[in-house]
């Protein structure tokens, strides 16, 4: 890479991300493209909500004044709404193009406990578009949207569960749909039982220096392109980060993948599922993901979990994870499950097309401490084996070692791991390098073929209840 190109990347998305391009990976695995900052239109306008009647006293609902100022910025060509010290009680707020919401230190954007303060719109929930309450902070069909500051965004703790009694998905803390040029930086977020941050169909998004605390997923990247998550700290009760791209025939026909995702220098603590989950909603495909220099300090199941099932279709490919420290994992470091993760869709992708294609996974320079299982990767369809799987430079201690099934082009190198029980490596229907002396496994049971739904699917058809 030429020096001027590297300098541009460092200036655009941060030097730590640009530095990831310096370390080579195997030739067949493509690295992510980084976000491109769209051209901006700035007016220099800064608005103070107190000048327009907002109170910031934590008692008065400031929704109307805050929304008017955000709209004012958008229609006048761009600007910034600044929340100074105080507690700003509000319902849902929509941010328009070329607009920044700045939450200063000692300021709290506090979500209303009343669901009537959140409009019901089309939301993507578990891979399908359904009616639901919009996010506390949201944007749709916008460019150059920023939420920043050293303050807090907090959801009401009085909204319990992820779905209302009427079957409507509860509000995410922040939700962005079809946004080009998105930046969320420096904030402390506190969510209830729903997802914290959910970008859908977004391009060129940066999430940096966030503290994400909640009782569900932290950041769900959903059919987005060119995304960076950098120097974030997660304490969640479900996946800290989850990558998704739609479910069943709906997601497959829409066909918008999640691609070009870079995750660097993050700290993960999970209390229900995984630190990083890829899937199981993968019907638009997921490709070119790089995870580097992260600490997985706690995971209820596996620190890293890649998942799908027949009926999802599409692909998961070009996944690179390196320089990770893993401890506190309840089940282990890595699991691959492409046979039975998640509920089958009412309108699945049938037949061979519905079996996900999985290829080019690299895990290198991984340090593990007392994980029960190092790698469990046997739930792979024998009709579509995984093509290209590398474990390189793995060190530390584990209870059980590596189990692999239905893979081609495997490379095991530099496995300096103390295994307390059983074989270090056990395989079935696997070819590649570094497999000498591996124990034999029982073959994976081939699942039954997925049949098409009795009613043919057409785009826009209701596709049943969520999981």
d(CA 333, CA 291): 14
Is 22 contained in some domain? no
* pLDDT score, position 437: 95
Is 313 contained in some domain? yes
Across the range 19-27, mean pLDDT stands at: 50
Within 13 A of 34's CA, how many CA atoms are on the CB side? 19
- Quick check: 278 and 250 in contact, CB under 8 A? no
Residue 108: pLDDT above 90?
A: yes
Is 244 contained in some domain? yes
Is 26 contained in some domain? no
* pLDDT score, position 24: 54
* pLDDT score, position 29: 79
Comparing CA positions, the residue from 396, 399, 334 lying closest to residue 367 is: 396
Comparing CA positions, the residue from 308, 378, 301 lying closest to residue 342 is: 308
* pLDDT score, position 467: 67
- The single-letter DSSP state of residue 329 is B
Is 201 contained in some domain? yes
The residues pairing with 417 across neighbouring beta strands, listed in sequence order, are: 396
**Residue-wise pLDDT tens digits, 361-396:** 999 999 999 999 999 999 999 999 999 999 999 999
- Quick check: 55 and 78 in contact, CB under 8 A? no
- The single-letter DSSP state of residue 435 is -
Residue 7: pLDDT above 90?
A: no
Residue 37: pLDDT above 70?
A: yes
Is 5 contained in some domain? no
* pLDDT score, position 163: 95
For 397, the domain range is 46-440
**Residue-wise pLDDT tens digits, 391-439:** 999 999 999 999 999 999 999 999 999 999 999 999 999 999 999 999 9
Supply the CATH number for residue 349's domain. 2.160.20.10
Average pLDDT, the chain: 93
- Quick check: 247 and 281 in contact, CB under 8 A? yes
Is 97 contained in some domain? yes
Across the range 332-352, mean pLDDT stands at: 96
Q: How confident is the model at residue 38 (pLDDT cuts 50, 70, 90)?
A: confident
Is 19 contained in some domain? no
Q: What percent of the chain has pLDDT over 70?
A: 93
Residue 12: pLDDT above 70?
A: no
Residue, of 20 and 175, whose pLDDT is higher:
175
Comparing CA positions, the residue from 335, 338, 323 lying closest to residue 290 is: 323
- Burial (Cβ within 10 Å: 0-12, 13-18, ≥19) of residue 15: exposed
- Quick check: 109 and 153 in contact, CB under 8 A? yes
The residues pairing with 298 across neighbouring beta strands, listed in sequence order, are: 269
**Residue-wise pLDDT tens digits, 154-198:** 999 999 999 999 999 999 999 999 999 999 999 999 999 999 999
Residue 55: pLDDT above 60?
A: yes
d(CA 375, CA 273): 16
Domain count of the chain? 1
Residue 11: pLDDT above 60?
A: no
- Quick check: 104 and 147 in contact, CB under 8 A? no
Residue 147: pLDDT above 70?
A: yes
d(CA 133, CA 156): 14
């Amino acid at each position: 890479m030429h020096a001027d190109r590297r300098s541009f990347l460092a200036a655009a998305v941060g030097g730590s991300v640009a530095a990831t391009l310096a370390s080579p990976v195997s030739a067949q695995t493509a690295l992510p493209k980084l976000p491109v900052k769209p051209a901006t239109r700035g007016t220099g306008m800064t608005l103070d909500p107190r000048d327009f009647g907002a109170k910031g006293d934590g008692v008065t609902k400031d929704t109307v004044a805050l929304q008017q100022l955000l709209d004012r910025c958008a229609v006048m060509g761009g600007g910034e709404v600044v929340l100074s010290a105080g507690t700003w009680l509000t319902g849902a707020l929509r941010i328009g193009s070329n607009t920044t919401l700045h939450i200063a230190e000692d300021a709290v954007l506090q979500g209303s406990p009343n669901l009537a303060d959140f409009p019901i719109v089309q939301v993507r929930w578990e891979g399908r578009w359904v009616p639901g309450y919009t996010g506390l902070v949201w944007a749709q069909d916008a460019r150059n949207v920023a939420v920043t500051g050293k303050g807090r965004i907090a959801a009401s703790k009085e909204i319990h569960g992820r779905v209302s009694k009427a079957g409507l998905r509860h509000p995410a803390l922040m939700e962005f749909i079809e946004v080009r040029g998105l930046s969320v930086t420096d904030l402390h977020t506190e969510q209830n039982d729903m997802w914290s941050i959910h970008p859908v169909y977004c391009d060129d998004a940066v999430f940096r220096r966030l503290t994400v605390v909640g009782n569900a997923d932290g950041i769900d990247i959903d059919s987005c392109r060119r995304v960076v998550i950098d120097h974030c700290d997660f304490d969640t009760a479900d996946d800290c980060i989850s990558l998704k791209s739609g479910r069943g025939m709906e997601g497959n026909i829409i066909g918008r993948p999640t691609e070009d995702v870079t995750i660097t220098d993050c700290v993960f603590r999970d209390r229900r599922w995984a630190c990083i989950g890829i899937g199981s909603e993968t019907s638009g495909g997921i490709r070119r993901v790089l995870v580097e220099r992260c600490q997985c300090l706690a995971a209820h199941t596996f620190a890293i979990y890649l998942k799908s099932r027949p009926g999802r279709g599409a692909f998961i490919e070009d996944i690179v994870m390196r320089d990770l420290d893993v401890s506190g994992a309840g089940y282990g470091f890595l699991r691959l499950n492409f046979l039975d993760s998640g509920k089958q869709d009412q309108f699945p992708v049938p037949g061979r097309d519905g079996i996900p294609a999985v290829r080019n996974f690299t895990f290198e320079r991984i340090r593990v401490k007392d994980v029960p299982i190092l790698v469990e990767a046997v739930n792979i369809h024998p009709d579509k084996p995984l093509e290209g799987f590398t474990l390189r430079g793995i060190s530390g201690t584990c209870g059980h070692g590596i189990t692999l099934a239905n893979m081609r082009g495997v490379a095991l190198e530099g496995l300096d791991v103390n295994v307390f029980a059983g074989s270090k490596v056990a395989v079935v229907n696997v070819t590649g390098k570094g497999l000498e002396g591996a124990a034999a496994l029982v073959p994976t049971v081939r699942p039954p073929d997925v049949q098409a739904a009795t009613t043919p699917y057409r785009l826009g058809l209701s596709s049943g209840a969520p999981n």
